[in-house]
Structure 1
């Protein structure tokens, strides 16, 4: 009986996640509306050198924003900066080194950013790894959890003071965090957050994406309570044809190669909802949403559990060596 009680929720999560992914594969792409110029605003995009992050950075630069690409590959980052500058004729595009798998690097990045004395109107938590072999970050955290989730948790918290100062009653600062439909099958295992006892790349990735949604909702809760002019929303880009699939098994790679061009969104299409969440007037002052194809939809049932959100927040503060807020 106990085995059945353990297996049924897992199978149900797999069913929901598979259903959502199939709906996304067969659904239509979201086309961005015309957005107003964003001159004078500043944005940081993690992982902005490639894929969804690159097209997010490029579109925001085209709208006139001062765009900072934060990434762990200086060559790729500077090449992306040059391309975006040339394509958008916006010189206010730059690169900052930030390795999300290193808390020291994240703290150095934030220090370097703050030395510029800039405002910060938009933070896009976009970078991530997917289905990587079992490994640990510089600080000893499981790679999906440490990079996708905990790295962004620390980065966001260190930038909150600047976001708070930059947001106004009429024009809130925004935190946009990229999750995934995979979060529907995710579970946060507080007894083994680092997936040490039984590692599954799929399970670890799903846990990191669920953690990002829980983090988004709880941060919005805290900001609302304190009356800050900052909003936080989570974005589901859909199933997108990017380099993240490089760690698929060989059969999976063959299927992707054969069908990806037909079923998967392009990186530019995948960036559309992130861009929408960054600047759309429809979302002014609105946070705590899960967005897909430019619309607010329900995330997984467990993601709305306030006690779970709070517990994860508390544990994350401890791991990131931050004061615990409640």
Structure 2
């Protein structure tokens, strides 16, 4: 009993203390400002969770630079930017008639509409991608590949935090399934396209939006699904560490193979987004009160993501690593463990039934 209580409370204490430390560092550090980035005409990017928050700002900026951006969103209608910008679609959206997919669907429509209205030549669209469903991930990739488009940038941004205990469609713990395993499968299935789209002078890039919470995460290969004494706080931290281990191993893998592709992870800091909505109610109320004053805005949180995705200075091996506030950061000891990286990689392949 005492052990179970400790297993439940300790991650909570650790995560909130870490959050306080990160907030203090953030308050007394100068925020990184994004340099002028080159045009991205002809480039294709996929951004998961690009309907709001950091993902929306990433999509908006890439679209402004001329990239063709596809938002992976759940649930979605699969409406293209051309269809969305049509007067009929805009009229139906304003009248509230596009409601079958719920709030997230309308949020995605509104995001694409805003970008199209702001940048008349924007090439941005969204399509269905539910990271909690391996079948949905596979369908998304199949649909994308049928279009015979290149893929220059993949931003694995979508995520969940501190949600109640539950399972994905395929039986995985939700933090592990959405934050890590869904993105692992998405990246794996798109890997050949990413490799083929890279070229000398402009590598393809995989950017994983991580969190400082990885520092207190653990990888238990025999309990990746957090079946033993579930803690939402611990599960979130574990999923972010798994994501970072994957990002690091992927970068080493493609570098050894000589492929024109790089992989990195980014910590956007504490950002005022909807990610905190599952906090304990009193803390959620406090967070809402201080977030606008002390947290970064989504646009500020997107800066480092955009930098590692677009900067010409980060070609090849320079593009790997773990980044925060525009700088490459030291990462915790578990991520340096090649055997742990390989074991997690192989276990993930087995869980997903890949070859």
Same fold (TM over 0.5): yes
> In structure 1, what is the Cα distance between the partners aligned to 2:230 and 2:29?
32
> In structure 1, what is the Cα distance between the partners aligned to 2:30 and 2:282?
26
Task: Give 1:68's aligned residue.
Answer: 70
Cα deviations across residues 257-298 of structure 1 (Å, max 9, x unaligned)? Answer: 221111100111111111111101121112331111111111
- Aligned residue runs from structure 1 range 1-326, under 5 A: 19-74=21-76, 75=105, 76-285=107-316, 286-323=318-355
Change (3 A) 1:258 1:13: closer
Deviation at 1:96, TM superposition (A): 1.4
Work out whether residues 21 and 181 of structure 1, in 8 Å CA contact, stay in contact via their aligned partners in 2: no
Cα deviations across residues 213-257 of structure 1 (Å, max 9, x unaligned)? Answer: 100010111101111000001000000010011000012112212
Q: Under a length normalisation based on structure 1, what TM-score does the superposition of the two structures give?
A: 0.93
Change (3 A) 1:309 1:170: same
Work out whether residues 40 and 66 of structure 1, in 8 Å CA contact, stay in contact via their aligned partners in 2: yes
- Structure 1's unaligned 5+ residue stretches are none
Deviation at 1:170, TM superposition (A): 1.2
> In structure 2, what is the Cα distance between the partners aligned to 1:266 and 1:276?
16
Deviation at 1:17, TM superposition (A): 6.8
Aligned residues: 318
Deviation at 1:89, TM superposition (A): 2.0
Q: Name the SS for the 1:118 alignment partner.
A: coil
**Higher CA-based Rg:** 2
Q: Name the SS for the 1:57 alignment partner.
A: helix
Q: Under a length normalisation based on structure 2, what TM-score does the superposition of the two structures give?
A: 0.85
Cα deviations across residues 178-229 of structure 1 (Å, max 9, x unaligned)? Answer: 0001111111112211111111111000001011110001011110111100
Higher deviation after alignment, 297-306 or 111-120: 297-306
RMSD, aligned α-carbons: 2.0
Higher deviation after alignment, 295-304 or 104-113: 295-304
> In structure 2, what is the Cα distance between the partners aligned to 1:182 and 1:270?
16
> In structure 2, what is the Cα distance between the partners aligned to 1:143 and 1:234?
21
Work out whether residues 48 and 156 of structure 2, in 8 Å CA contact, stay in contact via their aligned partners in 1: yes
Work out whether residues 73 and 126 of structure 2, in 8 Å CA contact, stay in contact via their aligned partners in 1: yes
